[in-house]
Structure 1
Amino acid sequence: MHETILSYLLLTGLSSAANALQHDCDSRKVKLKKPISVSSKNRAEEYAAQKKKLLTLFEKGESTQFLAIWNQIFPVDENRSETVDVLECYIRIYFTTFPLRKSPAAKNEYRERIADLKSYLEEGAGSKLSGTPELVQYFALPYVKEPGKHPVFKELVQKKWAKGILEKLERHLSSQICNDGEAKLIKWMAAYYQYVQETHHSVVSAPMGTTHCSDRSALEYRELQDDYYKLIDIAAELIDCLEQSCQGKAISAGYFADISSRLMESNVEAERRMQKSAAGSANVRMKRNRSLKARVDSKKKESTVKKSESTGNLIPADPNVRPPAKVSVFIL
């Protein structure tokens, strides 16, 4: 923290305040590494020289020296942007395919470089870019023997593609401010203000979303209660019918058909409501239907009440009792 503040004071030209801070830290025996104060003019000149060197190495295909300077300008740390990582991936692909753009193509050199690219994509820093849509296809490049003949990768050996990467690099370098000494304090403050804005937005929007969700849940709960009570009433009537059948009493076809009709209507209405609810997913409905079917099959096996082979209705076990007319039974 002390070094961050000292760096900020030096970069903003507050040398007296920086000296006072340095003196206080020394008196309190706080170890403080004083950053080298370099003028903006000198930093700009140094960056311009690095930029020129990078472009020269890029055109010559000197990947090792290029990446060394590249990492000085854009160090690999938590502050490195995804834009830099994506551009570096393109640059590495450029250097890998550089031997194939020679005349004649240097295939042995390419095989050495493609091995390095494979390591970078699968085990190195490039592995985190596997989810980037524009780069996904290049993760298959190490497994293609002749990219120049492949419909997807044949552009990599063309000078037009290489020129496009060079233009990307030039635009990126030109857009960068020489921010070697950009104080961490400035970055921290920017991140803090962004956090405050996002938090404020979430706090303001949260009550509205919570109220809407609560009202919807209450409505779904009432509808679920209605469906539950309807099914309880129908189940009670079916139990009464079952008891009467066990006692040898016949069940009228019209009454049983009415129960079946109401059960079907209740099921259709419940299905319609569930489709509108988040709880009405296909998996939940399939699970419920399987459960109902399993119960029906189990009751069929365990029931001691005989079934008429001709009508399919529940009838008494007494063979002297005449079976009622044929009635269709809906099993849901």
Structure 2
Amino acid sequence: MGDILAHESELLGLVKEYLDFAEFEDTLKTFLKECQMKGKPLPKTSGGSLRVSKSLTIQRDLLAAFDSGDQKVFFDLWEEHIPSSIRDGDSLAQKLEFYLHIHFAIYLLKHSVQRPDKEELSERISYFKTYLESKGAALSQTTEFLPFYALPFVPNPMVHPSFKELFQDSWTPELKLKLEKFLALMFKASNTPKLLTLYKENGQSHKETLQQLHQQLVEAERRAMTYLKRYNKTQVDYHTLIGVTAELVDSLEATVSGKMITPEYLQSVCVRLFSNQMRQSLAHSVDFTRPGTVNQCRDQSLGTEQLRCQRGLCQHVLGRSGDRECPL
């Protein structure tokens, strides 16, 4: 409760800012009245209202400079208040800026009652040419803008067929409408209330965290299944090995009393030591009574360590009888 009271003024300010942004006028009036009745602290100034007022002023100044043809004021405001990431990375902003440069370059030709001042016109054309050679060069490969790269070099663009549309009465109002829509969209995004911004950021972060956790869970389950299969296989091999070991111990005890170990019995024991994949093929194709069996086993992709182990086992078992070599 103490933490809430410590930040109560800021929290109430966030609520007030959002209600103002969403145009809940009656709700906002009731909210402010109730805060006053309960003696709740409210920020003396509304940050949201100040931002909205400032953005509206900037928009008006940009549009005024557009109408008056004040190139320097317009582009100073444009570069100051439109983020470079938007100006350089957004295709819509780049196209709009290109046409805005054309607007100011031909402004005197369209709005001068008498012949335009040559020096000022030359200065505007030179400014446009500099833009084409720098930032505007990015659009030089676009078919839509390619004809306008010749504009600075045409003596009288007003009578040139390539630039006929620029001097139509509808061209400037249409461009201004595009500018108004762009500015409204830009400054609306920058005036988003902090409460809404916090909600979006936290919601997106929460969603990304859940996705990461879900992916980690799927991966953990996959590894668990792999380890479980390995464990089950190891357990089966362990029981098989224990059984074979017990039989071999019994066979060793039998040899002490002079009982011979038959090749068929040794074959059955060794086959049981092979993997399940090789068991069936070896049982039908390997003859342990013939020499060269080791090469045949190797050709059937038995591992070196497996062959060494089994060969050593057979040598140990058959070596005591002394009547044959180890078939492995």
User: TM-score normalised by the shorter chain: which range applies?
Assistant: 0.3 to 0.5
The structure with the largest alpha-carbon Rg is: 2
TM-score by length of 1: 0.42
TM-score by length of 2: 0.43
